[in-house]
Amino acid sequence: MSSERAPRVPTDLDLALDGGALTAQLVDFPSESGNEQPLADAVERALRALPHLRVDRMGNNVVARTELGRAERVVLAGHLDTVPIADNVPSRVEGERLYGCGTSDMKSGVAVQLRLAATLPAPNRDLTFVFYDCEEVDAGRNGLGHLVTQHPDWLAADFAVLLEGTEGFVEGGCQGTMRIRITLSGTRAHAARSWLGDNAIHHAAEVLGRLAAYRPRRVEIDGLEYREGLNAVDIRGGVAGNVIPDECVVVVNFRYAPDRSPADAEAHLREVFAGFPVEVTDSSPGALPGLDRPAAKDFLAATGGAARAKFGWTDVARFSALGVPAVNFGPGDPNMAHKRDEYCDLPVIGEVERKLAAWLTD
């Protein structure tokens, strides 16, 4: 690969390139959330040129599948969009690192998907390749979410791999997340006559005290330890420097293990904050890793036999909602996601591709 910057935006993808070079080509396709169409068009063209795949499209979401009648079907999924470009396109190579917007999140994973689609015409499992839009923006625009509601049959499978960046480690399932708002009320008064009022900010002391005393669970699922967390993430109150405030709002985020449902999580929060008004403002369920499934066991064996829990939330939860166990496994470095100097280590791209290819051909 050349370290020189690409002189122009490509119009087509070359699936004969190695994973690193293909990642660079993908990065050189600007595809900020909401502007994925040129890249989605190129992905569709490249996949339709492969005779062993059936290709469907909905909006800027492209789904390709083998139809070989295998005993198992596996989904390999990745999003096409990136966060806004920060003077980091076109891509560039320095040593063994590829720099550019989306290198880690997650065009290196998409490159691996495309390489496998091109090089495995007869895998040992039927494969479904899912490329979707608008992952980096609000959940209502998420292309995978739209496929779940409008074409769940396109996503039917025994196991799914989301190629989000994990530095080549298997991360099982994901934790759920819930945000609540606790609104504390008081009585407004002049600060010079505070006895005539009731300070709402002072009422937050008990809420914060319960948080400080809270001991989060650690729970093991399929051999993976998930660590829950309950934390205040915002607090607002105050009217003016001479006014006793009559309202204070505390926002709390609960990251919970995937053995809890959203209903379980909400019930737990209402128990923790009994006596206070609890309003759920945001909720996304977790995903069980499903590492006891045959496909998952084979996957772990092929990728080194070890996995770790996913503490954040990812789109594997959408597969879990369909009854499809899923893991995160991709070449990108999640610590570099969204940064101006975002990069991906080139050797890891090849390593992830080799491990997946071995699993799908042995």
Mean pLDDT in each 10-residue stretch from start to end of the chain (362 residues)?
Answer: 53 95 96 96 98 98 98 96 94 96 97 98 97 90 95 95 94 93 97 96 98 97 93 97 97 96 97 98 89 83 85 88 90 92 97 95 84
- Clarify whether 333 is annotated catalytic: no
For residue 107, the number of C-alpha atoms closer than 13 Å in the C-beta half-sphere is 33
Tell me the CATH number for domain 19-174+287-361: 3.40.630.10
CB-hemisphere CA count at 13 Å for 358? 13
Contact 282, 177 (CB under 8 A): yes
Among 36, 44, 81, 164, the one annotated catalytic: 81
Residue-level pLDDT at 303: 87
pLDDT for residue 311: 83
CATH number of 176-284: 3.30.70.360
The dihedral of CA 298, 299, 304, 306: what is its sign? negative
Predicted model pTM: 0.83
3-class secondary structure, 181: strand
Which pLDDT score is estimated for 7?
47
Give the Cα separation of 74 and 160 in Å (integer): 5
**What does the pLDDT read at residue 2?**
43
Query: Looking at residue 321, what is its pLDDT?
Result: 85
Q: Which of 28, 135, 333, 353 is catalytic?
A: 135
Per-residue pLDDT, 8? 63
Active site residue 135: yes
Q: What is the pLDDT of residue 341?
A: 95
Contacts of 64 (CB under 8 A, 6+ apart): 47, 50, 53, 54, 55, 56, 117, 128, 129
Region at 305 (left for phi over 0; alpha for psi -120 to 50; beta for the rest): left
Residues of the chain with CATH 3.40.630.10: 19-174+287-361
Decide if 230 contacts 259 (C-beta within 8 A): no
Amino acid 275 reads G
| Alpha-carbon 37 to chain mean position | 21
Residue 260 phi/psi, 5-degree rounding, is -95, 140
Where does CATH 3.30.70.360 sit in the chain?
176-284
